[in-house]
């Protein structure tokens, strides 16, 4: 299978100014295909078409929007095996996770299909007699969406679905590393009976077409998921023309393991959260803060669990951890291993690449112990199958370490003490908390987001998504005189 992807611009599938190869990180000899890189003229026509399509879409009403979103969601679920296999082939996550991601993307659409029917206005009496007030939500207009490679279908789905549900048009730039699965979702959207130009997808380098998209005066709001430096640039660009902006970025998620925790469960959850998806999740547990009484037992069991994980080809039966996504990502990970060693961290297991029957970007799950929170491996997001253990003397110290980070996306605690769990819930500075659960793994019907450098702007997902994808209008209505 050799896939040529094109861009979907203003209702047409079009070729690009040049092409980029899409390779399989599990098997570098497998060239999945070539994908077209969109140009600025195509971007202009996508945005122009989106502006007029948006009005038609809003006028079409809530039943139409419900039906279209339901159809997209149902199709994604029905095709989750095929699109999921494509996703795993180009991104490197194990097949079950690729399929699960596409199915989840479908659930975002069916959830927001229902949200489009919800009556979301408010009524109030005026403080002045005979005047009624209604507060309604209207679409923002044209939403620019920029998404990363690690969830190439689910992340854009949780942005595109609410954008369309609330009556907006969408211009989407997927990550250039994972174009095939993103294009498969775009194809499903393109097959719906929607106004021409309501939805466009343009692939290309972030620094080129991505930058042009976020700087474009025809874009009313930008929803971005990716790295902190790119997010900062997008925020600055949006501010300069007062566009709405929503950013979901990196993190350095802590998990506290207390002395009263079920240690085997703590090890299983830590390994899952640290190494799942090769650590390439914004919710990955990369700082494990362990009570000194259980520290040594935890470290030896975690290292055994890490060494037992089956690292291999994403599409191979039984693989638990696939390769990392690219050569650059792998090199960055190995650089962090060197930085950790140089800072005095103790390498317990992993730390290097792995040879497999096919040549790919395989890295061994890696555990550092005897780390301190000021080491670069505990400060910077690595996006790697690397986790760092720190020792804490008591709960208060553990909480202080957990909170000592510029990030604040997710955080977890393993404890049987309700008092500690409740204290953690109130005092941990993060957007998403997990009690006796891995830091990664969230639902689709409730808000998701972080604090500090992890997020900016309104929350994503669930009913809270309305905050970003709508604008509030307050209307005062007087009867106009005698009957
Ligand atoms: P990235 O470099 O920031 O890329 C994310 C997206 O932005 C890609 O589509 C990229 O295009 C594009 N982009 C790059 N430069 C741009 C620019 N100047 N203007 C506009 N768009 C631009 O991030 P990444 O390295 O691909 O992804 C990993 C990062 O995403 C990690 O930091 C991770 O924590 C974060 N992430 C966060 C969440 C969350 O919900 N908080 C979820 C997943 C990932 P290209 O195609 O050229 O890369
Ligand atoms: Mg990148």
Question: What distance in angstroms lies between residue 439's CA and the mean position of ligand 1's atoms?
Answer: 20
pTM: 0.97
Residue 426 within a domain: yes
Residue 130 within a domain: yes
Strands 451-452 and 346-349, bridge-based pairing: unpaired
As a whole number of Å, the CA-based R_g of the chain is: 23
User: Does 406 lie in the same domain as 467?
Assistant: no
User: Does 220 lie in the same domain as 265?
Assistant: no
Q: Is 211 left (phi over 0), alpha (psi -120 to 50) or beta?
A: alpha
Residue 267 CA to residue 145 CA, distance in Å, equals 37
Question: What distance in angstroms lies between residue 212's CA and the mean position of ligand 2's atoms?
Answer: 16
Pick the catalytic residue: 90, 91, 248, 381?
A: 248
User: Does 236 lie in the same domain as 135?
Assistant: yes
Ordered mean pLDDT values, 10 residues apiece, the chain (483 residues)? 87 95 97 96 98 98 98 98 98 98 98 90 93 96 98 98 98 97 98 98 97 98 97 96 96 98 98 98 97 98 98 97 98 98 98 98 98 98 98 98 98 98 98 97 96 97 97 95 88
Residue 482 within a domain: no
User: Does 259 lie in the same domain as 168?
Assistant: no
Count of CA atoms in the C-beta half-sphere (13 A) of 291: 16
Question: What distance in angstroms lies between residue 483's CA and the mean position of ligand 1's atoms?
Answer: 60
Contact 270, 412 (CB under 8 A): no
For residue 4, the model assigns a pLDDT of 84
Nearest 5°: phi and psi at 87? -60, -50
Q: Which residues pair with 270 in a beta bridge?
A: none
Residue 451 CA to residue 235 CA, distance in Å, equals 15
Contact 112, 66 (CB under 8 A): no
Nearest 5°: phi and psi at 375? -70, 150
DSSP conformation letters of 291-334: EHHHHHHHHHHHHHHHHHS-B--TTSTT-SB---S-HHHHHHHH
Domain boundaries, position 308: 253-435
Residue 440 within a domain: no
- Both tokens of 32, joined, read 């999945």
Residue whose Cα lies nearest atom 34 of ligand 1: it is: 250
Residue 445 within a domain: no
Residue 284 neighbours by CB under 8 Å, 6+ apart: 251, 253, 273, 274, 276, 277, 383, 387, 439, 440
CATH, residue 235: 3.40.605.10
Contact 389, 367 (CB under 8 A): yes
User: Does 275 lie in the same domain as 236?
Assistant: no
Looking from the CA of residue 229, the nearest atom of ligand 1 is: 3
Looking from the CA of residue 226, the nearest atom of ligand 1 is: 30
CATH, residue 383: 3.40.309.10
Contact 189, 160 (CB under 8 A): yes
Strands 122-125 and 131-139, bridge-based pairing: antiparallel
Question: How crowded is residue 296: how many other Cβ atoms within 10 Å of its Cβ?
Answer: 12
Tally the domains of the chain.
2
User: Does 138 lie in the same domain as 72?
Assistant: yes
Residues with CB under 6 A from ligand 1: 146-151, 155, 173, 175-176, 205-207, 210-211, 214, 225-227, 230, 233-234, 248-250, 282, 381, 383, 409
- Both tokens of 463, joined, read 């009913």
Q: Collapsing DSSP states into helix, strand and coil, what is residue 219?
A: coil
**Integer angstrom CA distances of residue 58 from 63, 66, 121, 470:** 11, 12, 16, 12
Residue whose Cα lies nearest atom 43 of ligand 1: it is: 282
> Which ligand is in closest contact with the Cα of 383?
1
For the question of residue 203 being annotated catalytic, the response is no
For residue 54, the model assigns a pLDDT of 98
User: Does 303 lie in the same domain as 229?
Assistant: no
User: Does 10 lie in the same domain as 28?
Assistant: yes
For residue 120, the model assigns a pLDDT of 65
Residue 442 within a domain: no
Q: Is 465 exposed, middle or buried (0-12, 13-18, 19+ CB in 10 A)?
A: buried
Residue 53 within a domain: yes
User: Does 326 lie in the same domain as 365?
Assistant: yes
Q: Collapsing DSSP states into helix, strand and coil, what is residue 372?
A: coil
For residue 254, the model assigns a pLDDT of 98
DSSP conformation letters of 56-111: HHHHH-HHHHHHHHHHHHHHHHHTHHHHHHHHHHHH---HHHHHHHHHHHHHHHHH
Q: Collapsing DSSP states into helix, strand and coil, what is residue 440?
A: coil
User: Does 62 lie in the same domain as 183?
Assistant: yes
User: Does 161 lie in the same domain as 74?
Assistant: yes
Looking from the CA of residue 448, the nearest atom of ligand 1 is: 40
Residue whose Cα lies nearest atom 39 of ligand 1: it is: 248
Pick the catalytic residue: 91, 101, 282, 460?
A: 282
Question: What distance in angstroms lies between residue 96's CA and the mean position of ligand 1's atoms?
Answer: 24
Residue 13 within a domain: yes
For the question of residue 282 being annotated catalytic, the response is yes
Residue whose Cα lies nearest atom 25 of ligand 1: it is: 227
Which residue's entry shows tokens 């991104």?
91
Question: What distance in angstroms lies between residue 205's CA and the mean position of ligand 2's atoms?
Answer: 9
**DSSP code at position 151:** S
Would you say how long the chain is, in residues?
483
Looking from the CA of residue 214, the nearest atom of ligand 1 is: 20
Q: Is 353 exposed, middle or buried (0-12, 13-18, 19+ CB in 10 A)?
A: middle
For residue 231, the model assigns a pLDDT of 97
User: Does 367 lie in the same domain as 232?
Assistant: no
């Amino acid at each position: 299978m050799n896939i040529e992807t094109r861009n979907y611009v203003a209702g047409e599938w079009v070729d690009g100014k040049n092409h980029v190869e899409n390779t399989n990180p599990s098997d570098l000899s497998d060239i999945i295909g070539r994908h077209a890189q969109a140009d600025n003229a195509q971007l202009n026509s996508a945005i122009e078409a989106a502006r007029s399509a948006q009005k038609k879409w809003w006028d079409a009403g809530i039943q139409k929007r419900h039906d279209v979103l339901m159809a997209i969601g149902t199709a994604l679920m029905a095709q989750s095996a095929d699109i999921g296999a494509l996703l795993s082939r180009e991104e490197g996550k194990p097949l079950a996770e690729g399929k699960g991601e596409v199915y989840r993307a479908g659930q975002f659409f069916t959830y927001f299909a229902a949200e489009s029917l919800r009556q979301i206005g408010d009524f109030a009496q005026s403080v002045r007699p005979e005047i009624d007030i209604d507060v309604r939500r209207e679409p923002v207009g044209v939403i620019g969406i920029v998404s990363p490679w690690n969830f190439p279908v689910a992340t854009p789905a949780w942005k595109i679905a609410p954008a369309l549900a609330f009556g907006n048009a969408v211009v989407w730039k997927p990550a250039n590393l994972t174009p095939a699965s993103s294009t498969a979702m775009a194809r499903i959207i393109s097959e719906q009976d929607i106004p021409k130009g309501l939805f466009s997808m343009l692939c290309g380098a972030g620094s080129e077409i991505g930058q042009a998209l976020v700087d474009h005066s025809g874009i009313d709001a930008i929803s971005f998921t990716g790295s902190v430096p790119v997010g900062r640039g997008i925020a600055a660009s949006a501010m300069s023309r007062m566009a709405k902006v929503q950013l979901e970025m990196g993190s350095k998620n802590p998990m506290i393991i207390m002395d009263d925790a079920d240690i085997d469960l703590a090890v299983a959850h830590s390994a899952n959260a640290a190494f799942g998806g090769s650590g390439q999740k914004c919710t990955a547990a990369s700082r494990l803060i362990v009570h000194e009484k259980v520290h040594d037992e935890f470290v030896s069991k975690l290292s055994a669990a890490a060494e037992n994980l089956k690292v291999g080809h994403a599409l191979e039966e039984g693989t638990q951890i696939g390769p990392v996504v690219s050569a650059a990502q792998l090199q960055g990970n190995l650089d962090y291993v060197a930085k950790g060693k140089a800072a005095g961290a103790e390498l317990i297991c992993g730390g290097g690449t792995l040879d497999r029957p096919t040549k790919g970007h395989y890295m061994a799950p890696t555990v550092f112990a005897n780390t301190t929170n000021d080491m670069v491996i505990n400060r910077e997001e690595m996006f790697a199958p690397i986790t760092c253990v720190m020792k804490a003397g008591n709960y208060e110290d553990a909480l202080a370490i957990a909170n000592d980070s510029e990030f604040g996306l997710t955080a977890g605690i393993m404890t049987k003490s309700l008092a500690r769990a409740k204290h953690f819930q109130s005092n941990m500075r993060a957007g998403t908390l997990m009690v006796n659960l891995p830091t990664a793994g969230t639902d689709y019907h409730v808000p998701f987001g972080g604090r500090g450098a992890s997020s900016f702007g309104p929350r994503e997902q669930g009913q809270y998504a309305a905050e970003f994808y709508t604008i509030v209008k307050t209307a005062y209505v007087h009867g106009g005189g005698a009957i």
